[in-house]
Amino acid sequence: MKVAIVYNEPDKDRLDSIDIIDQVNMVSDALQELEYDFGMIVVGGDTCPCADLLYQLDSFGPDVVFNLFEALHDDPRFHPAIASFYEIGGFAYTGAPYPALLTTTDKILTKAVLKANNLPTPPWQTFNGAADSIRLRPPWIVKPSWEDGSVGVDEESIFTEQKALKNSLSAIYLNHRRQPLLIEEYVDGREFNIPLVELSDGSVRVLPISEITFEDWPEDKPKIVGYKAKWDENAFEYENTQRVFVPDDAPIDAMAEIGYRCWEVFNLGGYARVDLRLDESGGLHVIEINANPCIAAESGYMRAVAEGGFEARDFVREIIGAARRRRYIR
């Protein structure tokens, strides 16, 4: 078995970007255990990256591409693009297919698809640089539409006063290179992760569902898994967010059903994670669809893999098998 690990050149000044190296290490370690032949292809630099990628893939001739690509020159708009080149070249590749990546990379498009398919999600509106009336109930949370890894999301993203929100939108918009902004009604509730994996036989399994708990959180501090909570190991938010698997007081079956439904609606593949909020009245709200989430060894997803009884080696083997079943014919 020949596997090409494709990933983007990271920005060494960004914690969320250099994390890609941890993912590459996890996959390469697993491939070594499996005794698969593998090589690395880094997409980036100042040349024609996509043409160079196809040249290297043709030269190496992999049975499957392990797709870890996230952005080009740290621009998340290009996250889906590389997958389309695998398909053009006829290469089997792991993870979500191109249409799923295209849809889920855009938070606003994701929301529209959720609503169109009657999946529960908080009400929202968009900001594209021009002031508009706020039609949502407070409080609100503002997110850059193309970022992942909670980039641009922290407690400063929560607003309770309409004047403060409207006065901040233009600055947030410009700070994120004029990305459309998602303005969403903030659900002040419990947060859950629903990890899913596609096995080599084509079946899809929900791995153990986890809750993110907010330990010793100040009463007036918004309970969100923002950038600091994910990436800054010295931050209060990082130290005080914990993961609890399969809490017995949560509607696990209903959450799993929503996870399977999201997988179907968004045509996900390989591995994915659906993030939910549970409000005080018991309502569930989809707040994020993560196609190809982080699979670094210490990531929340890989902890769910272990909790579900898989070794990392076996997980990698299964999603490679699933990718080969979906191979695009050249």
Single-letter residue type at 162:
Q
Separation between Cα atoms, residue 263 and residue 259, nearest integer Å: 6
pLDDT value of position 97: 95
Q: Does 122-185 match 188-309 in CATH topology?
A: no
Separation between Cα atoms, residue 179 and residue 152, nearest integer Å: 11
Superfamily of domain 188-309: ATP-grasp fold, B domain (3.30.470.20)
CA distances from 223 to 100, 235, 250 (A): 29, 14, 18
pLDDT value of position 75: 81
* Residues 6 or more apart in contact with residue 297 via CB below 8 angstroms: 22, 25, 26, 29, 312
The DSSP code sequence of 151-162 is TT-SGGGEES-H
Reading the chain (330 residues) residue by residue, the pLDDT tens digits are 999 999 998 888 887 788 899 999 999 999 999 999 999 999 986 667 778 898 999 999 999 999 999 988 778 888 899 999 999 899 999 999 999 999 999 999 999 999 999 999 999 999 999 877 899 999 999 999 999 888 889 999 999 999 999 999 999 999 988 999 999 999 999 999 999 999 999 999 999 999 999 999 998 899 999 989 998 889 999 999 999 999 989 999 999 999 999 999 999 999 999 999 999 999 999 999 999 999 999 999 999 999 999 999 999 999 999 999 886 544
- What CATH class does 122-185 carry? alpha beta
pLDDT value of position 17: 85
- What percent of the chain is helix, strand and coil (3-state, nearest 5)? 40, 25, 40
pLDDT value of position 10: 86
CB contact at 8 A, 229 and 151: no
Rama region for 141: left / alpha / beta (φ>0; ψ in -120 to 50; rest): beta
Dihedral angle sign, alpha carbons of residues 210, 237, 19, 10: positive
Separation between Cα atoms, residue 183 and residue 185, nearest integer Å: 7
pLDDT value of position 45: 67
Give the phi and the psi of residue 265 in degrees, each rounded to 5.
-65, -40
Separation between Cα atoms, residue 110 and residue 266, nearest integer Å: 9
pLDDT value of position 130: 84
The count of C-alpha atoms lying within 13 angstroms of the C-alpha of 224, restricted to the half-sphere facing its C-beta, is 26
Domain boundaries, the chain: 2-95, 122-185, 188-309
Rama region for 55: left / alpha / beta (φ>0; ψ in -120 to 50; rest): alpha
| Pairing relationship of beta strands 190-198 and 140-144 according to DSSP bridges | unpaired
Token pair 């931050």: residue: 235
Architecture of domain 2-95: 3-Layer(aba) Sandwich (3.40)
How big is the CA angle at 171 (ends 162 and 161), to the nearest 5 degrees?
15
| CA 321 centroid distance within chain | 21
Print the SS3 string covering 31-93.
HHHHCCEEEEEEECCCCCHHHHHHHHHHHHCCCEEEECCCCECCEHHHCCHHHHHHHHHCCCE
